[in-house]
Amino acid sequence: MSDIPSNKPYLIRALHQWCTDFGFTPFMAVFVDSSVEVPMEFVKKDEIVLNLSLEACHQLNLDNDWISFQARFGGVPRKIMVPVSNVLAIYARENGQGMSFPFDASKTSKLKGESSENAEKPKASRPSLTIVK
């Protein structure tokens, strides 16, 4: 199946558009490793939740390989870069409706000092639509 191009970025864009059209706030959960550029002070247990609303983001790009934008964290503008492969979920803040994605942390770039034994490895075998809160 690995030779089939991923539909994940298409689903992310779809759910972002759904949130935007109905006035919901699109939140995106991200697994943080060395390939991700986010404010590390907001990372908890290798994860960060980002607000992807058009009000919060500038120059938002939801591309097939990368999600990038600029946003303020504690008043300071920061550049955000997230590989689509590291996206764990996208959902509406207001109701938790959205989609989570399978993620194999063993395949990602390690953070310094993190062993493979310590990495969380969700074992979901396929993406699923679910309520994530």
Q: Which chain residues interact with its own copies by CB under 8 A?
A: 1, 4-5, 7, 10-11, 13-15, 17-18, 22, 92, 95, 97-99, 126-131
Nearer CB in complex with its own copies: 80/99: 99
Nearer CB in complex with its own copies: 5/74: 5
Closest CA relative to residue 99, chosen from 17, 42, 2: 17
Secondary structure (DSSP) of 71-132? EEETTEEEEEEEEGGGEEEEEETTT-EEEE----GGGSPPPTT--TTTS------S-EEEE-
> Residue 90 Cβ, how far from its own copies at the closest point, in Å?
10
> Residue 29 Cβ, how far from its own copies at the closest point, in Å?
17
Q: Label residue 117 exposed, middle or buried (CB < 10 Å: 0-12, 13-18, 19+).
A: exposed
Nearer CB in complex with its own copies: 87/92: 92
Distance CA 68, CA 66 (A): 6
> Residue 67 Cβ, how far from its own copies at the closest point, in Å?
15
> Residue 22 Cβ, how far from its own copies at the closest point, in Å?
5
Nearer CB in complex with its own copies: 25/35: 25
